[in-house]
């Protein structure tokens, strides 16, 4: 690590510790966790609801810190990540590791004490899944790393839901499945237009290992597979037509944007507009889908819509 002498003498800025938790990624984690919490049947005291979200955010932050601790050398080799606190030489590597372990441990303990040990066990599972199974084990070994990594991001809404209900049912598992299936087309679209960065540090991203053509086909395949999973909460009667109609429209739009990405080939001078459009849309897709889920459940809870497929 290229830690400058002056930097090692000075205490690390607290902002660098905060930056290590990937606050931007955490906004999506917090949003989906809140959606899971609000959409779940039943009620939770606002203090406990806040604590559950805080614990999930801290767990996500802790695993993000451990991820950057492990990948500090790789981050140094990529333009996008070279100025992070560790490769930038603004923090000792051991401090990052200790901070990540501490944050993760506190998040699990907080969830267990305040909410319940089922939610805490799932949070611990999510942290281990991301920091160990994904970051250390599978990310450097398989081009399917993103598919597996998607599982880590899929935990928050499920944990949010289970924090309220205290049990694992079909709906939280479907919320998990939605993000799991959404991640590959979302991330591979990004990987198509930043692939040179990943190739440089030897991470076996799909476009680098299997080639662009295969990646594009798989983006299309996962988009097709995502549609029934997204519609499933409506089809099993877990939501009403409000969510169902939004999910259907979003699925059609996602497919319409994925088709050009899945079927075209890169030209010599290519602005990669379809890939960039798909990537941006995929973020809006998730926000709107989960917002629709919450709106649906709120309307149902207030008796404004009935249950069932056409309710």
Residues at the contact surface with other proteins, assessed by CB under 8 A? 6, 9-14, 45, 47-48, 51, 54, 113-114
Closer to other proteins by CB, 6 or 302: give it. Answer: 6
The sign of the dihedral angle between the CA atoms of 207, 210, 211, 212 is: negative
Least distance CB 96 / other proteins (angstroms) = 15
Closer to other proteins by CB, 48 or 224: give it. Answer: 48
DSSP class of residue 138?
I
Question: Tokens 């709906």 appear where?
Answer: 171
User: What's the rounded Cα separation, in Å, for the pair 292 and 244?
Assistant: 9
Closer to other proteins by CB, 34 or 44: give it. Answer: 44
Least distance CB 102 / other proteins (angstroms) = 12
Closer to other proteins by CB, 45 or 271: give it. Answer: 45
Closer to other proteins by CB, 11 or 303: give it. Answer: 11
Least distance CB 50 / other proteins (angstroms) = 8
Closer to other proteins by CB, 3 or 144: give it. Answer: 3
Closer to other proteins by CB, 47 or 269: give it. Answer: 47
User: What's the rounded Cα separation, in Å, for the pair 97 and 93?
Assistant: 6
User: What's the rounded Cα separation, in Å, for the pair 144 and 208?
Assistant: 12
The helices-and-strands tally (H runs, E runs) of the chain is: 14, 0
DSSP class of residue 10?
S
Residue 271 backbone phi and psi in degrees, to 5? -85, -5
Structure tokens at 214: 């295969």
Least distance CB 57 / other proteins (angstroms) = 13
Least distance CB 211 / other proteins (angstroms) = 47
Length of the chain: 311
What is the separation of C-alpha 35 from the centre of its chain, rounded to a whole number of angstroms?
14
Least distance CB 275 / other proteins (angstroms) = 40
Least distance CB 67 / other proteins (angstroms) = 22
Structure tokens at 257: 């944007």
User: What's the rounded Cα separation, in Å, for the pair 251 and 52?
Assistant: 30
Residue 209 vs residues 1, 2, 64, 76: alpha-carbon distances, Å = 28, 29, 25, 22
């Amino acid at each position: 690590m290229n830690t400058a002498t002056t930097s090692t003498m000075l205490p690390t800025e607290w902002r660098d510790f905060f930056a290590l938790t990937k606050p931007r990624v955490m906004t999506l984690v917090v949003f989906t966790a809140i959606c899971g919490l609000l959409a779940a049947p039943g009620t939770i005291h606002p203090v406990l609801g806040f604590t559950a979200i805080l614990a999930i955010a801290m767990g996500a932050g802790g695993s993000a810190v451990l991820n950057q601790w492990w990948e500090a050398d790789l981050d140094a080799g990529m333009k996008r990540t070279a100025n992070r606190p560790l490769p930038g030489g603004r923090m000792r590597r051991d401090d990052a590791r200790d901070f990540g372990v501490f944050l993760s441990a506190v998040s699990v303990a907080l969830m267990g004490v305040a909410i319940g040990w089922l939610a805490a066990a799932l949070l611990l599972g999510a942290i281990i899944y991301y920091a160990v199974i994904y970051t250390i084990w599978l990310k450097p070994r398989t081009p399917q790393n993103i598919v597996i990594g998607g599982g880590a991001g899929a935990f928050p809404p499920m944990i949010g839901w289970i924090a309220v209900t205290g049990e694992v049912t079909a709906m939280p598992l479907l919320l998990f499945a939605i993000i799991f299936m959404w991640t590959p087309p979302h991330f591979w679209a990004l990987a198509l237009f930043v692939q040179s960065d990943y190739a440089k540090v030897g991470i076996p991203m799909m476009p680098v290992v299997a080639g662009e053509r295969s990646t594009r086909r798989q983006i299309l395949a996962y988009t097709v597979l995502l549609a029934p999973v997204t519609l499933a909460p409506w089809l099993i009667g877990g939501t009403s037509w409000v969510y169902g109609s939004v999910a259907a429209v979003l699925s059609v739009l996602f497919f319409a944007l994925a088709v050009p990405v899945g079927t075209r080939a890169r030209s010599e001078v290519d602005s990669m507009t379809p890939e960039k459009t798909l990537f941006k849309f995929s973020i809006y897709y998730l926000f709107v889908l989960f917002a629709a889920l919450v709106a649906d459940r709120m309307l149902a809870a207030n008796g404004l819509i009935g249950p069932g497929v056409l309710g």
